[in-house]
Chain A
Amino acid sequence: MYKTAAYLMIMPVLLILLLLMVYPVGLSIYTSLTDRRIGTPGNFVGFDTYRRVINQPIFLRTLMNTSLYVSITLALKTILGLMLALLMHHIPVGRNFLRAIVLLPWVVPTSMSVLIWQWMFDPSFSVLNWILSQLGLNRVPWLGSPFWARLAVITVNVWRGIPFFSIAFGAGLTAIPQELYESASIDGAAGIQQFLRITFPLLKPVFNIVLLYSLVMTIADFDIVHILTRGGPFQSTHLLGTLAYQVGLPGTQISQGAAISLFLFPILLFAAFFALRVVIRQEM
Chain B
Amino acid sequence: MNKEAWEAIGISVDDLLNFTWEDLLKVAPKLAEIGHPIGFAIKDTFDANGGLFPILWSFGARVVDEQGYVTVVSPETRRAIEYVIELAKYMPPDVFAWDDAGNNRFILAGVGSWTPNPPSIWAVAVRDKLPIAEAIDHAPLPSGPYGRFRVADYNSFGIWRFSPNIDLAKDLLRWLMRPDNVVKQVEASWGYNQPTLRAYDEISYWMTRTPLRYYHPAVEELRPSGWPAPPGPEWAMAYNLHIVPLMFAKAVIGEMTPDEAMRWAETELLKLGFKGR
Contacts and interface: CB of A to CB of B under 8 A. Distances in A.
Interface of A: 37, 55-58, 122-125, 141-145, 149, 230-235, 246-247, 250-253
Contact of A55 (B102, B237, B241, B271): B271
Given A123-B98, A234-B246, A141 B236 contact: no
Contacts of B105: 122, 124-125
A142 B271 contact: no
Contacts of B241: 58, 235, 246-247, 251
Given A124-B109, A233-B96, A235-B246, A251 B236 contact: yes
Return the 3 tightest CB-CB contacts between A and B, nearest first: A144-B97, A123-B97, A123-B94
B236 A250 contact: yes
B96 A145 contact: yes
Most A CB contacts (10 A, CB to CB) among B97, B98, B237, B240 go to B97
Main secondary structure of the interface of B (DSSP, over half): helix
A124 B240 contact: no
Contacts of A57: 267-268, 271
B93 interface: yes
Interface residues of B, number: 29
A230 B99 contact: yes
Nearest to B44: A232
Contacts of A125: 105, 109
A231 B242 CA distance: 11
Interface in B96-144: 96-99, 102, 105-106, 109, 111
B250 interface: yes
Contact of A246 (B93, B96, B240, B268): B240
A178 B102 CA distance: 56
Contact of A143 (B97, B111, B237): B97
Contacts of B78: none
A193 B241 CA distance: 52
A149 B241 CA distance: 18
Contacts of A232: 43-45, 242
Contacts of B272: 56
B87 interface: no
B249 interface: yes
A233 B249 contact: yes
A231 B46 CA distance: 13
A206 B233 CA distance: 47
B92 interface: yes
Contacts of B45: 230, 232
Contact of B233 (A55, A122, A233, A252): A252
Interface string B37-61: 0000001110000000000000000
A40 B236 CA distance: 15
Contacts of A122: 105
B233 A253 contact: yes
Interface string B143-174: 00000000000000000000000000000000
Given A125-B109, A246-B241, A144 B94 contact: yes
Contacts of B93: 123, 141, 144
A122 B106 CA distance: 11
Contacts of B242: 232
A251 B109 contact: no
B249 A247 contact: no
5 contacts: A56-B271, A124-B102, A144-B97, A234-B43, A247-B240
A122 B249 CA distance: 19
A32 B275 CA distance: 25
Contacts of A246: 240-241
A247 B237 contact: yes
A37 B255 CA distance: 34
A124 B94 contact: yes
Given A123-B102, A124-B109, A144-B43, A251 B240 contact: yes
Most A CB contacts (10 A, CB to CB) among B45, B98, B105, B240 go to B240
Given A55-B271, A125-B109, A142-B97, 20 more contacts: A56-B271, A122-B105, A123-B94, A123-B102, A124-B105, A124-B109, A141-B97, A144-B93, A144-B96, A230-B44, A230-B99, A233-B43, A233-B97, A234-B43, A234-B249, A235-B241, A247-B241, A250-B240, A251-B233, A252-B236
A150 to B, nearest CB: 13
A123 to B, nearest CB: 4
Contacts of A231: 44
Nearest to A233: B43
